């Protein structure tokens, strides 16, 4: 990212930063991102999810569609994503609308998951109270036996969301806290940007 002459769109710089974070092992999960939502009562909530896809249409993550985060999105699809790589002194902030990806996209990603993660998607009623971990493990064991010689189908209640790139801010740390900040906004498919003070 050239902060002296920013490109007209943030998509290529974002793709570059994601690749660099992975190459440099910026942290144990370089594509972990804080997802912030607002529930029906107007209360904010944040949690970490994993970026599983990115292009000019948005950033993709996967979850249980009955989870707290999914319920928040159902009530208010305006969300925020925050990536932070401390050792690289970089941060990306994305604001946009979260919409479900197609069933085909969810199927494709689900098939790529580790088998235990596939079974776990069925076993866990995400965000619901759990009396004992033993109950969860027993459920996983029963489902593993059920599909012992078959592929695990994707649950209808599990899939992806794509967050649109309505606002994107790239932040690069510098000495003396004289950081570089560029904020992109997209309106009707057209990008514009502003340099922000640190």
pLDDT for 17-75, tens place per residue? 999 999 887 667 899 999 999 999 999 999 999 999 999 999 999 999 999 999 999 99
The CATH number of residue 184's host domain is 2.30.110.10
Would you say residue 149 lies in a domain?
A: no
Choice among 90, 113, 154, 177 that is catalytic: 177
Q: What is the per-residue pLDDT across 32-45, written as a single tens digit (0 to 9) for each?
A: 999 999 999 999 99
Would you say residue 76 lies in a domain?
A: yes
Would you say residue 97 lies in a domain?
A: yes
Would you say residue 38 lies in a domain?
A: yes
Model pTM score: 0.91
pLDDT of residue 5: 80
Distance CA 23, CA 77 (A): 32
Distance CA 125, CA 180 (A): 43
Query: Average pLDDT of each block of 10 consecutive residues along the chain (198 residues)?
Result: 86 93 81 96 96 96 96 97 94 97 96 94 89 91 90 95 97 88 92 93
Range of 41's domain?
Answer: 11-102+159-196
Would you say residue 123 lies in a domain?
A: no
Would you say residue 144 lies in a domain?
A: no
pLDDT of residue 188: 87
Identify whether 133 is a catalytic site residue: no
At which residue do the structure tokens 């599990």 appear? 158
Distance CA 142, CA 120 (A): 11
pLDDT of residue 45: 96
DSSP count for the chain of H helices, then E strands: 5, 10
pLDDT of residue 26: 62
Would you say residue 124 lies in a domain?
A: no
Would you say residue 151 lies in a domain?
A: no
At which residue do the structure tokens 């994601």 appear? 18
Q: Which residues contact 119 (CB under 8 A, 6 or more apart)?
A: 140, 143, 144, 147, 152
Number of domains forming the structure of the chain = 1
């Amino acid at each position: 990212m050239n902060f002296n002459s920013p490109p007209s769109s943030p998509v290529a710089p974002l793709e570059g930063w994601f690749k660099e974070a992975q190459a440099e092992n910026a942290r144990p999960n370089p594509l972990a991102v804080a997802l912030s939502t607002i529930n029906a009562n107007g209360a904010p909530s944040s949690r970490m999810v994993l970026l599983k896809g990115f292009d000019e249409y948005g950033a993709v993550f996967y979850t249980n569609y009955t989870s707290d985060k999914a319920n928040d999105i159902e009530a208010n699809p305006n969300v925020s994503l925050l990536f932070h790589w401390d050792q690289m002194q970089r941060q990306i902030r994305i604001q946009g609308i979260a919409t479900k990806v197609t069933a085909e996209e969810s199927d494709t990603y689900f098939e790529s998951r580790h088998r235990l993660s596939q079974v776990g998607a069925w076993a866990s009623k995400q965000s619901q109270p759990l009396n004992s971990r033993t109950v969860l493990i027993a459920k996983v064991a029963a489902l593993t036996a059920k599909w012992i010689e078959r592929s695990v189908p994707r649950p209808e209640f599990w899939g992806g969301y794509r967050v649109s790139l309505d606002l994107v801010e790239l932040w690069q740390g510098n000495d003396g806290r004289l950081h570089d900040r560029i904020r992109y906004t997209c309106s009707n498919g057209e990008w514009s940007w502003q340099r922000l003070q640190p």
